[in-house]
């Protein structure tokens, strides 16, 4: 996503929450919000829908459970049936710990890998917000004033009510797809 954007930098969490909600209500396109930590309620303030990652985690965990159950049954009852200690070949209670562990492994590791790929995180990727200290202690709201809608001065007036440290126009090439992608 390229083009001119306004970057508003805030010092307080409640200021960026209120500014984001006000910008959304005014019909200003919110490109992204950068915070040093997860801000509770930011997804509602931005108008984001629910994430699909819980479904990804569920499906990967289900795949891990089915794969573990199938492999243990195949290994102990089909491919190499050996009677050890008199237990039956398809001893499902003995399979439960491995099924549980592979469910957690596939669900957890798979979800992290899907998130990294989905968000476009990769080694060597530089942040477009490096100069605003958003990874230290600042909060940044990136908006795009529409040509047919509010102009820059009205956006600055709207955001100025929430005590921004700075508002500057940048021409950023943002590679943003995260939760809205």
Q: Is residue 17 part of a domain?
A: yes
pLDDT score for 56: 97
Domains contained in the chain, number: 2
Burial of 59 (0-12, 13-18, 19+ CB in 10 A): middle
pTM over 0.75, yes/no: no
Which residues, listed in sequence order, are joined to residue 9 by a DSSP beta bridge? 140, 166
Do 61 and 113 reside in the same domain of the chain?
A: yes
Do 45 and 69 reside in the same domain of the chain?
A: no
Please give the Cα distance from 45 to 159 (Å, whole number). Answer: 14
Q: Is residue 179 part of a domain?
A: no
Do 133 and 100 reside in the same domain of the chain?
A: no
Do 73 and 40 reside in the same domain of the chain?
A: no
Q: Is the pLDDT of residue 82 over 90?
A: no
Q: Is residue 124 part of a domain?
A: no
Q: Is residue 22 part of a domain?
A: yes
pLDDT score for 95: 92
Average pLDDT over residues 37-66: 93
Do 45 and 27 reside in the same domain of the chain?
A: yes
Do 67 and 108 reside in the same domain of the chain?
A: yes
CATH assignment of the domain containing 151: 3.30.70.260
Q: What percent of the chain has pLDDT over 90?
A: 42
Do 76 and 108 reside in the same domain of the chain?
A: yes
pLDDT digits (tens, 9 = 90+) for 138-166: 899 998 876 545 677 888 888 889 999 88
pLDDT digits (tens, 9 = 90+) for 162-178: 999 888 888 766 544 44
| 135's tokens | 């990874």
Q: Is the pLDDT of residue 64 over 90?
A: yes
Q: Is residue 146 part of a domain?
A: yes
* Mean of pLDDT over the chain: 85
Do 163 and 139 reside in the same domain of the chain?
A: yes
* Confidence class for position 20, pLDDT limits 50, 70, 90: very high
Average pLDDT over residues 56-79: 95
DSSP string over 4-48: EEEEEEESSHHHHHHHHHHHHHTT-EEEEEE-SSPPTTHHHHHT-
pLDDT score for 72: 93
The helix (run of H) or strand (run of E) holding residue 168 is strand 166-171
- Which of 93, 119, 145 is a domain's end point? 119
Q: Is residue 178 part of a domain?
A: no
Q: Is the pLDDT of residue 52 over 80?
A: yes
* Confidence class for position 125, pLDDT limits 50, 70, 90: confident
Which residues, listed in sequence order, are joined to residue 6 by a DSSP beta bridge? 143, 169
Range(s) of the domain holding residue 101: 53-119
């Amino acid at each position: 996503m390229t083009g001119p954007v306004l970057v508003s930098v805030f010092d307080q969490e409640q200021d960026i929450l209120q500014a984001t909600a006000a910008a959304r209500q005014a019909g200003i396109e919110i490109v992204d919000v950068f915070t040093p930590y997860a801000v509770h309620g930011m997804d509602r303030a931005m108008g984001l829908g629910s994430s699909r990652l819980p479904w990804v985690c569920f499906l990967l965990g289900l795949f891990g459970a089915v794969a573990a159950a199938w492999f243990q049954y195949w290994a102990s009852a089909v491919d190499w049936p050996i009677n050890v200690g008199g237990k039956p070949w398809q001893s499902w209670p003995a399979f439960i710990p491995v099924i549980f562990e592979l469910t957690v492994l596939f669900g957890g590791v798979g979800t992290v890998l899907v998130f990294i790929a989905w968000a476009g995180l990769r080694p060597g990727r530089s942040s477009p917000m490096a100069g605003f200290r958003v990874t230290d202690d600042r909060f940044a709201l990136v908006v795009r004033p529409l040509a047919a809608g509010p102009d820059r001065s009205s956006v600055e007036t709207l955001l100025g009510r929430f005590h921004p440290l700075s508002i500057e126009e940048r021409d950023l090439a943002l590679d943003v797809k995260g939760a809205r992608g």
